Chain A
């Protein structure tokens, strides 16, 4: 690929203060997303998935590191210019119902980005709202005049997707968009995202804690643990040959219809350590079944073990050793 990536994140660290203590919610995160690609991001609660997604839209601005979108550096961009860019850089959230203003009508919610962008022609706005609602599978005639509480979670997520699409963005950060939905509706929304990607030429960062969902929708997958990337590879490769013990453990842990009765014992023991006080060396070592002395003293670097396959482990399960 000679083309420049649509989004390029270099060494991004986001620090927060809790209980009077400063800590890094994510640190040294580096990745690219190519135009038209879907990058999946998985990991357990608190590992920094949302923080990574929000760092892209500068909410908040990263403490360190760079974020380039279409060649523009966002971390130093003045806020008014950032607002312009935000039209091309949308985000949708896990809880569709609470991310919609309950007092407003659907047509106003979906049109809001157009108003912010200064499109004052009411007829034009209405036409675009109709078009995008139809695209997400909602009938504009019965939807536009209603308010969010009259819709189910899945329908509210469709409305959120419509609102994100109306400015025809390049990139959408999808932060657990199907986690609150039942499986039957989850499948509808995943199919819709695939269709919208095709139709609008979108690029997606898709955040989820569900490995099967992430594999289904992503071209490449990144796995996070305690604020750092531990593995990044093509969706096929990472499932076929996980190199990081955490990725392998996660996969062995998921109860699936296929695994069925084979699933006998939990693959990963122990608790997730607090991000306020991560273990020395490799952050995963307190739960890693193959940890050795070196893992406590030296932090493994995120390195390429085969083309396009990155892992942060001294003793990766595939692709050679340190």
Chain B
């Protein structure tokens, strides 16, 4: 395809994606009609409580869930104009690692515990990039240096089990970057790490993203991380995106009551001690049995009759790019009162 078309086209376009699990207790609607686009070089935050479908979404995009018939898929994942869902397993393996790479919450899931980390990185370079041994060694040292591992000569000789969690995550990031991906998906990459190490890893991801003009999907349950480290954001609830816009817009003007409730339930450092928290009552719905209407209605303080029966679409006001799925969005309500 001509270069100018490739440039104007979004890097990733997810269209009406469904991933359902056929389980003995029923069908789990883990990803339930999700659409979004991601441009080159942008960082999209995907935020939601546990079980909202974030990991299933990312695993569907890179196609690492089972194909034994227990997982039901529908919809498209367009990457640079190609539908990844149409690719063969072999073609998809090439996309993974080269064009799209992934970093997981537990770095050990992408590391071999009994192989020296230097070897693990050079192997990837030889296999994916077709490098010879000598240039792979050089490149591995560069990668290790770029992810901020001190004393690379020594570190490359060590085994993952002898590294701290933060160091392991740095190695996993180095391996993900080895194929020079255009898209990096990081699924809660810092959830298992200490706060000071978390900040280091998020800084590292941001630096790499900027230097390589790589697109990043950063999955997290922490709105603070979204606020500090992403350009755009998608809020997930019970398998659906319920709000999507630029990150600063979301922080300043949330429209969806769930987003507002999430923001208010977390304590703020600026609040005085013993400030009563605005807890969200109840629990997220069970995805085997999602409620009718708006999936948030049982916990929503703005719910009206319509919310109980009709599922709101993800739409915007006029030409705005701020999408939300709610019958009674926040600002409109405030205006109606005044």
A95-111 interface mask toward B, CB cutoff 8 Å, 1 = contact, 0 = none?
Answer: 00000000000000000
Per a CB cutoff under 8 Å, which of A190, A255, A258, A262 touches B202? A255
Distance (whole angstroms) from the CB of B34 to the closest CB of chain A: 20
Asked if A257 and B267 sit within 8 Å, CB to CB, the answer is: no
A 199-213 binary contact with B (CB < 8 Å = 1; else 0): 000000000010111
| Known contacts A235-B273, A253-B196; A258 and B268 CB within 8 A of each other | yes
A182, B48: Cα distance in complex, Å: 9
Could you tell me the distance between the alpha carbons of A45 and B70 in the complex, rounded to whole angstroms?
39
| Structural contact, A209 and B195, CB atoms closer than 8 A | yes
* B1 contacts A by Cβ under 8 Å: no
Alpha-carbon distance between A266 and B170 when the two chains are bound, in angstroms? 15
Please report which residues of chain B, range 276-318, place their CB below 8 angstroms from some CB of chain A when the two chains form the complex: 276-281, 283-284, 299
Contact of A250 among B195, B200, B299 (CB under 8 A): B195
A215 touching B199, Cβ below 8 Å: no
Complex contact A268–B196 (CB within 8 A): yes
Enumerate A28-71 residues with CB–CB distance to B below 8 Å.
Answer: 44-45
Q: Smallest CB-CB separation from B196: which chain A residue?
A: A268
In angstroms, Cα B262 to Cα A211, docked, is 18
Q: How far in angstroms is the closest Cβ of chain B from A204?
A: 12
Q: For window 251-267 of chain B, which residues contact chain A by CB distance below 8 Å? A: 251, 261-263, 265-267
Question: Which residues of the other chain, A, contact B283 by a CB distance below 8 angstroms?
Answer: 152, 154, 185
Closest B residue by C-beta to A218: B273
Question: Closest residue of chain B to A221, judged by CB?
Answer: B273
Q: Interface residue count for A (Cβ, 8 Å)?
A: 48
Identify which of B203, B269, B299 gathers the most chain A CB atoms within 10 Å of its CB.
B269
B203 touches A187 (CB 8 A): no
Q: Are the CB atoms of A263 and B228 closer together than 8 Å? A: yes
- Out of B200, B229, B273, which one reaches A255, CB within 8 Å? B229
Please indicate the chain A residues that have their CB under 8 angstroms from the CB of B274 in the complex.
194, 216-217
Judge whether A251 is part of the interface by a CB distance below 8 angstroms.
yes
A-contacting residues, B164-208, CB 8 Å: 164, 166-167, 194-200, 202-203
Q: Is residue B8 within 8 Å, beta carbon to beta carbon, of the partner chain?
A: no
Q: Are B227 and A272 in contact (CB under 8 A)?
A: no
Q: How far is the CA of A191 from the CA of B273 in the complex (A)?
A: 12
Name 6 A/B residue pairs within 8 A (Cβ), A-sorted. A44-B194, A44-B197, A187-B280, A216-B277, A256-B268, A259-B224
Which A residues are within 8 Å of any B CB, using their own CB? 44-45, 152, 154, 182-188, 190-191, 194, 209, 211-213, 215-219, 235-236, 239, 249-251, 253-263, 265-269, 271-272, 287
Which residues of B are in contact with A by a Cβ distance under 8 Å? 49-50, 164, 166-167, 194-200, 202-203, 221-225, 227-229, 247-248, 251, 261-263, 265-281, 283-284, 299
